[in-house]
Structure 1
Amino acid sequence: MFGSILLRGKTIAQTWYDANVGLLLFAMGQLFSSSMNLFARILETTSDPPYNAMQIVFTRMSITTLACTFYIWIKGVPDAPLGPKEVRPLLVARGLTGFFGLFGMYYSLTYLSLSDATVISFLSPTVAGFACSIFINEKFGRVDKIAGFISFFGVILIAQPTPNLTAGDGTVTTGQRLGAVGVALLGVLGAAGAFTTIRCIGQRAHPLISVNYFAVICTIVSSCALTLSPSLHFVLPRAAWQWALLFSIGICGFCYQFLLTAGLQREKAGRAGNMLYLQMFLAFLFEKLVWNETPNWMEYAGSGIILGSAVWVAVSKRKTETGYDKISTTVTADDIESQPQRPTETYELSDMTANPITPIPPPVTVTNNPRP
């Protein structure tokens, strides 16, 4: 009897794991993403001399480039490394817009708290939805528009355009904080542009090729900026902990991209997207543990408005979804290993209507007429 109970418990646990493995991978990805932002803020605010955002981008993406290129090589990804000719301009655009999204995030960490910079990035899906409605005719409903409009009031509260309110230990001025919010919003536009180009690329290029374009372009642009700009300098680590944090940023960046891709291969985007809110909890937790910082009421209010708007959109979309909205195939790890030459494919009904398949004509029935 005891053995049967253990067997049933194991079966239940295995069933739960099989149903939620995508969510677990996506949640682990958010942990790596939040850890990466934490390490970047430590280097930008506590090192002497401080590390600039360009060097953080260069460090992370150079390591990601090496790791991603090696992974593409050993897996034999098709059309590597440049991808199909017809989507190469879109892949370049994905890399350039992704660079601005990444730089905006890391620069804002210099003058904003970890939670403020994180919550502003939550505007990206709304902006991306608006862009997709223009370029690829995706639906951008009334709820999305209202939620996006309300979210910008949250950004204003986080910016704190009041001379008497300063962030952290009081060394950040209002001008610096407003400038950081402006660059963070530039990062939102960049991230939204990256998402839009990814949607335009669709299944025409392997996801790892897209990630590699992103990493290579970010490495090239950041290295050129560090070399040509007189105000930017490459700071060599002076202590073992600085080397460790720089290396950890690169490793966390690659792990985040890998787990994000693996999670989305096994889980619907709607459920996986809910795991993004885990970043806010981790940001508040890291701030309290590392800097012992507690947000003021304006930061709480602004974060609540943005998060509330994002949750409202997610819940509204879930209510309007039907079983005919999407026709998808979930690719398992075994499928990937057995067919490494083919990327994961997810088909949407809108794709089928945009590129209709020529229907097969009905069979011809031949009737033998009897002789008169």
Structure 2
Amino acid sequence: MGVVEIPQDADAAATQRGVIHLVTAAILFSGLSVLAKLVGARVPLPQVILVRSLVTVAFARGTLARGDIPVWGTRRAMLALRGLFGFVALVCYFYALMHLPIADAIVIHYIHPVFTLLLATVVLGEALDRRETAFIVGCFVGVVLVTQPESLFGAGADSADPFALAIAVLGAVISAGVYVMIRELRSTEHPVRVVFYNALVAAILSAPWAATTWVTPDALEWTILLAIGVCTFLHQQSMTVGLHLVRAGRATALGYVQVLLAMLAGIWWFQEEVDLVAWCGAAILAVSAGWLATDRRRIPSRA
């Protein structure tokens, strides 16, 4: 383990660009989550996944063509595996949302930065220092206080479905694997190619599922579905570019911003009430994520 000899200013600038992409990805993910909540009242989940995947495939393919970038890449097996893992992680997350209190599902899902940190340390040599680890823990504490899961705060402690809990944890582990794979692919694969593969695999796998539950959307629902697809493409692109520039453990911790944005969206769009504990959690989350976003120290890595 040594210090990579990269000019500090250049290294800091690249990290800051990565942070901007990751925060942008968090904002976009929050937006598409709101849209999915709106359209999901009538349109089944596999149909939402299929339409958003097809739209993302179209945008990614067009972007690759405009840039004269080869579509299929050099590490095709890993690219396809990233797509498969991403699809399975998404299904696990939505299964948990359907069978657990939403707060419990969110909190379990956001254990994934911890798994990402462990995997990135072993696979990529990207260990965090004590300060970064402390602020990631602060982010997670903030998430718990914002969401106040029933399994920790009372009502649902004895009623949680053990299988759903296991699926939620599995989804978090697989999500960590996805982030590490994106970091591993950064040396050979263009970010948009990674997005293209992910969407293509999701479209192929969700098509038979969607066919069995198809509901014909009305004009407004089609508009929302298309908007979800556009947001997904921009989110995936921003997240992938960010992971090319920022270490996996720190990058995924910045995804905790999504919880804060989701809370604000719930207040604004769905008139959800927020108590003092949640506001305290939001403050802890904002401070911790803000520190992770603005810290510019040069970092140890594999030489």
Structure 2 contact 80–197 (Cα < 8 Å) conserved? yes
- CA distance 1:147–1:290, shift in 2 (3 Å): closer
- Match of residue 219 from structure 2: 240
Aligned to 1:102: 90
Structure 1 pair 181–301 and aligned structure 2 pair: CA distance change class (3 A):
farther
- The corresponding residue for 1:366 is none
Q: Write out per-residue CA displacement over residues 40-83 of structure 1, whole angstroms, 9 at most, x where no aligned residue.
A: 12233x32xxx333222212111101110111112111xx2221
**Separation in structure 1 between the aligned mates of residue 264 and residue 58 of structure 2, nearest angstrom:** 32
Normalising by structure 2, report the TM-score.
0.72
Give how far 1:225 is off: 3.1
Q: Where does residue 33 of structure 1 map in the other structure?
A: 29
Letter in 2 for 1:61: S
1:132, CA displacement in angstroms?
2.2
1:167-316 aligned at under 5 Å gives the runs: 174-175=159-160, 182-227=166-211, 233-237=213-217, 239-261=218-240, 276-295=255-274, 300=278, 307=285, 311=289, 314=292
Contact conserved, 1:34 with 1:283, CA < 8 A, in 2? yes
Question: What's the CA shift for 1:195?
Answer: 0.9
1:30 maps to amino acid: A
Q: Does 1:60 align with 2:40?
A: no
Moved more, 242-251 or 120-129: 120-129
Equivalent pairs: percent with the same residue? 23
| DSSP 3-state at the match of 2:200 | helix
Distance apart, 1:35 and its partner CA: 0.9
CA distance in 2, matches of 1:21, 1:141: 21
Tell me whether 1:83 sits opposite 2:73 in the alignment.
yes
Q: Distance in 2 between matches of 1:123 and 1:259?
A: 22
**Matches of 2:219 and 2:200, distance apart in 1:** 27
SS at match of 2:216: coil
Structure 1 distance, partners of 2:197, 2:24, is 24
Structure 1 contact 37–114 (Cα < 8 Å) conserved: no
Aligned AA for 1:235?
V
2:111 is paired with a residue whose SS is helix
Alignment partners' CA distance in 1, 2:290 and 2:22? 21
CA drift of 1:33 comes to 1.2
Q: 1:112 to 1:255 in 2, by over 3 A?
A: farther
- Per-residue displacement from partner, 1:303-342 (whole Å, max 9, x unpaired)? 6699499659949x959x44xx36xxxxxxxxxxxxxxxx
Structure number with higher relative contact order (C-alpha < 8 Å, ≥ 6 residues apart): 2
Structure 1 partner of 2:61: 69
The aligned amino acid for 1:288 is: I
Residue 38 of structure 1: CA displacement? 0.9
TM-score, normalization by structure 1: 0.60
**1:42 and 2:38 aligned:** yes
In structure 2, the partner of 1:134 is: 122
Q: Is the 8 A contact 1:154 1:305 kept in 2?
A: no
Give yes or no for contact 2:92–2:168 (8 Å, CA) kept in 1: yes
What is the aligned-residue RMSD (CA, Å)? 4.5
- The code of the aligned residue for 2:201 comes to I
Residues 64 and 254, structure 1, Cα contact 8 Å, conserved in 2: yes
Give the Cα separation in 1 of the matches to 2:138 and 2:23.
28
Higher helix share: 2
In 1: Cα distance, 2:267 partner to 2:36 partner:
16
After superposition, the C-alpha distances for 1:159-214 in whole angstroms (9 at most, x for unaligned) are 41389737xxxxxx9557x7665544333222211111122223122222111111
Secondary structure of 1:161 counterpart: helix
Change (3 A) 1:40 1:141: same
Q: Structure 1: which 5+ runs fail to align?
A: 1-18, 167-172, 327-348, 354-372
Q: Name the CA shift for 1:154/1:250 in 2 (closer, same or farther; >3 Å).
A: closer
Size of the alignment, in residue pairs? 285
CA change 1:138–1:274 in 2 (3 A) is closer
Which of 1 and 2 has greater Rg? 1
CA distance in 2 between counterparts of 1:140 and 1:21 reads: 19
CA distance in 2, matches of 1:249, 1:215: 13
Segment of structure 1 superposing worse, 239-248 or 56-65:
239-248
Give 1:161's aligned amino acid.
Answer: S
CA distance in 1, matches of 2:250, 2:173: 24
Secondary structure of the corresponding residue to residue 36 of structure 1: helix
